Structure 1
Amino acid sequence: MTSTLGFAILAVLARGDRTGYDIAAAMRRPVGYFWTAGHSQIHGELQKLRTACLVEFETAHGPGPQDKKVYRLTAAGEAALREWVTAPPRERVERDELVLKTYASWLADPETVRRLFADQLALHEARLADYEQAEASYDGPPPFGDPRFGNYATLRCGLGYERHRAEWCRWVLSQLGDGG
């Protein structure tokens, strides 16, 4: 059974052949907006995908002394990805450290909590600005069937999330008062 990370890698490869380095770069942006993985995780998962005959590679001359591996999706990999895309997502366990900290925040110094939320607000506002800049590079949503449709749809989800988190941080700050 392929892991979710494995399917993320298959989704990246469905857009074109890539080296492990290129896959890691795609996993940083745009995939990193909604799914993260380190280079070592990607490398290990590529080996599992290869063993399962979902990806294959060819070697090509690399920039250093060793050849580089250029991975591509196999027909079986594409079929597995197509099946996975429409299957309901697994139920996920919600784990939100900031919400947990908020739950226990009545125990902390209000000014320290205020600083925590001001910092979190700044972080979410910065991400929101980054996402808004990315959205401005589109001339509306690409048509379904275009690989960029997935980029745009996930970007829209990120925009909504960051707007929500920023608004929630503002609300918590308003409940804490001005600190005076």
Structure 2
Amino acid sequence: MTSTLGFAILAVLARGERTGYDLAAAMRRPVGYFWTAGHSQIHAELQKLRAGGLVGFEAEHGPGPQGRKVYHLTAEGGAVLREWVTEPPRERPERDELVLKTYASWLAEPELVRRMFADQLAAHEERLAEYERQEASFGGPPAFGDPGFGSYATLRCGLSYERHRADWCRWMLAQLSESL
């Protein structure tokens, strides 16, 4: 049974061979925008995928005394990934700390809550600006079937999310302003 992290690794490797370092970098950006994993998690998962025959590697001489492994997707890994892509996602509970804090915010000093939302608004606006810069670099959506299509589609989801969160933060700030 491959984990969701395993499928994320397979999806990155489907775009081309990578060393463990390159894989971790791809998992930070762009995959890290919607699925996060630490280097130790990635390494452990790579070993499971390798044991399952879903990835392989070629050993190469590295720049130093240690060799390096360049991982690739196997034919079986590609087949498993293609099958998984069209399965409905597993149900997962939402866990949003800001929403939980908002639920209990009536207990806090309004000015402190306002400051928290002002900071959150600034963070969402900053990410939105970054995502908008990335979107402009595409020059429009790539054709379906191009690996760039998935990157563009997930970026569009990120844009919508950041716009929504920024709007919600503005609404909260307006509500808090009325109570101050």
TM-score bin (small chain): over 0.9
CA contact (8 A) 1:55 1:74 kept: yes
Q: Which amino acid counterpart does residue 52 of structure 1 have in structure 2?
A: G
Structure 2 unaligned segments of length 5 or more: list them: none
CA contact (8 A) 1:110 1:176 kept: yes
* Aligned mates of 1:38, 1:63 — CA distance in 2: 24
Cα displacement (A) at 1:64? 1.8
* Aligned mates of 2:143, 2:82 — CA distance in 1: 18
CA contact (8 A) 1:57 1:69 kept: yes
CA contact (8 A) 1:111 1:179 kept: no
Question: 2:129 — aligned with what?
Answer: 129
Cα displacement (A) at 1:178? 6.5
TM-score, normalising length: structure 2:
0.98
Question: 2:27 — aligned with what?
Answer: 27
* Aligned mates of 1:28, 1:137 — CA distance in 2: 19
* Aligned mates of 1:63, 1:100 — CA distance in 2: 48
Q: Provide the secondary structure at the position in 2 that maps to 1:56.
A: strand
Structure 1 unaligned segments of length 5 or more: list them: none
Q: Identical aligned pairs, as a percentage?
A: 79
Corresponding position: 1:112 with 2:135: no
Question: 1:61 — aligned with what?
Answer: 61
* Aligned mates of 1:142, 1:64 — CA distance in 2: 39
Q: Provide the secondary structure at the position in 1 that maps to 2:58.
A: strand
* Aligned mates of 1:65, 1:2 — CA distance in 2: 33
Residues 48-78 of structure 1: per-residue CA shift (max 9 Å, x gap): 0000000010101112211000000000000
Coordinate RMSD, CA, aligned: 0.9
Q: Which amino acid counterpart does residue 120 of structure 1 have in structure 2?
A: Q
Question: 1:7 — aligned with what?
Answer: 7
Q: Provide the secondary structure at the position in 2 that maps to 1:68.
A: strand
* Aligned mates of 1:65, 1:163 — CA distance in 2: 48
Question: 2:83 — aligned with what?
Answer: 83
Cα displacement (A) at 1:179? 7.1
Runs of 4+ with deviation above 2 angstroms:
none
Cα displacement (A) at 1:92? 1.3
* Aligned mates of 1:38, 1:101 — CA distance in 2: 26
* Aligned mates of 2:152, 2:92 — CA distance in 1: 23
**Matched positions, count:** 180
Residues 95-143 of structure 1: per-residue CA shift (max 9 Å, x gap): 0000000000000000100010000000000000000000000111000
Cα displacement (A) at 1:146? 0.2
